[in-house]
Amino acid sequence: MQSGLYVGISSQIALERRLNTLADNMANMNTVGFRATEVKFDEVMSRTQNDINAKVAFVTQGNDYLSTRTGELQRTGNPLDFAIKGNAWFAIDTPAGQVLTRDGRFTMDETGQLRSIRGYPVLDAGGAPIQLNREAGPPTVGADGIIMQNNQPVATLGLFTADVTRGFTRYENEGVIVVDNPQPVVEGFENSIVQGYVEQSNVNGIGEMTQLIQVNRAFESISALMRDSESSMSEAIRVLGGSNS
């Protein structure tokens, strides 16, 4: 009976973690460039004390990973708005260091420096802030990220790839700080930039709500089973205790 309680507790811990990620995803349905958090759960097997052939399956707390599904591209017509086709990221310089983001809503400050929507410097492929000329008019950016002003190349909008599965932390919702060292995209056709568009959140609201309901029901079912198991154990102890008296 105790094994059943332990399995139930491990399941509740896993479900609680999934509930938290689902709630976070739902809260960021309208966050530009947001990528939904998914959780991978593994099964841990242990042998019971009374039967060496019997095994009990426990659920791990799970590992977070980001959905690689691309969000819908929305046309804005703003020459400083950018979206990425592919699995790459923009990079910005923040107080926490280099942060990767899919939010391409950029601005140009009074000195001509390209900045994120929150005011952080946008980085080129070499990791340096991008400097533009405010007097040269709106820039044009090709699919390869080369920024042109007055028909002259002035900088390159950096694209980076990283193995997010090795670990990451959120930074202000749309950004992520990764354990893996981000690598600049030098060449290739897997990733490209689209000017005048932004990428919407890739959260599927209907799908997330359905999962939220299913996880809540599973949590309630396990709680009911644990209460029944605890009641059975208490009854067994009471009966066995009475027979020995």
Residues 176 and 190 in one domain: yes
Percentage with pLDDT > 90 across the chain? 53
> Residues 108-165: pLDDT tens digits?
999 999 999 999 999 999 999 999 999 988 899 999 999 999 999 999 999 999 998 8
Residue 47 is predicted with a pLDDT of 44
Residues 80 and 101 in one domain: yes
Residues 23 and 86 in one domain: no
Is pTM beyond 0.85 here? no
Residues 36 and 135 in one domain: no
**What are the residues whose beta carbons fall under 8 Å from the beta carbon of 206, sequence distance 6 or more?**
none
23-37, 182-196, 226-240, range with greatest mean pLDDT: 23-37
**What are the residues whose beta carbons fall under 8 Å from the beta carbon of 1, sequence distance 6 or more?**
229, 232, 233, 236
Cα four-point dihedral sign 164, 165, 168, 171: positive
Task: Report how far apart the first and last C-alpha atoms of the chain are (Å, whole number).
Answer: 23
> Residues 198-242: pLDDT tens digits?
999 999 989 888 888 887 777 777 766 666 666 665 666 666 665
Tell me what the pLDDT averaged over the chain comes to: 83
Confidence category of residue 58, pLDDT binned at 50, 70, 90: very low
Residues 131 and 192 in one domain: yes
Residues 138 and 210 in one domain: no
Residues 114 and 213 in one domain: no
Residues 137 and 160 in one domain: yes
Residues 80 and 159 in one domain: yes
Answer whether residue 168 shows pLDDT above 70: yes
Q: Which domain holds residue 165?
A: 73-199
**Are 183 and 101 within 8 A, CB to CB?**
no
Residues 49 and 123 in one domain: no
Query: In total, how many domains does the chain have?
Result: 2
Residues 126 and 166 in one domain: yes
Residues 186, 190, 194, CA angle at the centre, nearest 5°?
90
Answer whether residue 5 shows pLDDT above 70: no
The distance from CA 115 to its chain's CA centroid, rounded to whole angstroms, is: 23
Residues 177 and 84 in one domain: yes
